[in-house]
Homo-oligomer: A and B are copies of this chain.
Amino acid sequence: MLGYILNPEVEKYLKSLPQERDTVLEEMEEYAGKNNFPIIGREGGRVLHLITKIKNPRLIVEIGSGFGYSAYWFAKASEKGKVVLTDYQEKNINLAKRFFEKGGIENKAKFRVGDGIEIGKEYKNIDILFLDLEKARYLEAIKELENNISENGIVIADNVLLQGKVILEPESRKSKIIREFNEYMFKKFFSVIIPIRDGILIACKKS
């Protein structure tokens, strides 16, 4: 499935363009590679950074943070805001904390262990809600949390093309759930899917 969405030559070209280096992010990417830990990747991270710069959010809540790769991009880009990280596994959250400390941006984050959706409910006026939990719970997550998004808030969801499986295996359980999620997002919000990596959905409220 690798290369199904985007021509790998195009991806290579995008990666070849001049980029700032960040040793903490590089270390996180190395950790992900060694441990086969799925992350949004460099190109995806750059999209989060750009959107954060444009939005200038006060509160970002991540439902499913892993060891903090996407949160690191959000926090770095956010001038006045805070990122809430959530993950079931204490080990991941502790690792995230260490990376944030290494980068000197731990003051921009709140580290929470537990069920992301339940923790998310504690927050109101979320400016960016980021979904990266188990795919089977995407629809549940947005339905439970959409009223906690601020008036001009946005939703970003990772993996909404399932490396092409939403198209190649439309009848699989996972695909059905993600297809249903995408349809919900396009109906209820104004949504766009950025076809890099595994597909990143970005949505704002309709007006």
Contact = CB atoms under 8 A, between A and B. Distances in A.
Interface in A151-207: 152, 154, 161, 164, 166-167, 182-183, 186-187, 190-196, 202-204, 206-207
Interface residues of A, number: 45
Given A7-B4, A18-B187, A19-B186, A166 B13 contact: yes
A47 B192 contact: yes
A20 B191 CA distance: 11
A146 B10 CA distance: 27
Interface string A40-64: 0001001101110111100000000
A2 interface: no
A120 B167 CA distance: 43
A49 B191 CA distance: 10
Interface in A2-25: 4-7, 9-10, 13-14, 17-20
A190 B53 contact: yes
A79 interface: yes
A14 B166 CA distance: 11
Interface in A138-154: 152, 154
Contacts of A187: 18
9 contacts: A4-B7, A5-B10, A9-B164, A13-B166, A13-B167, A18-B187, A53-B204, A194-B194, A194-B196
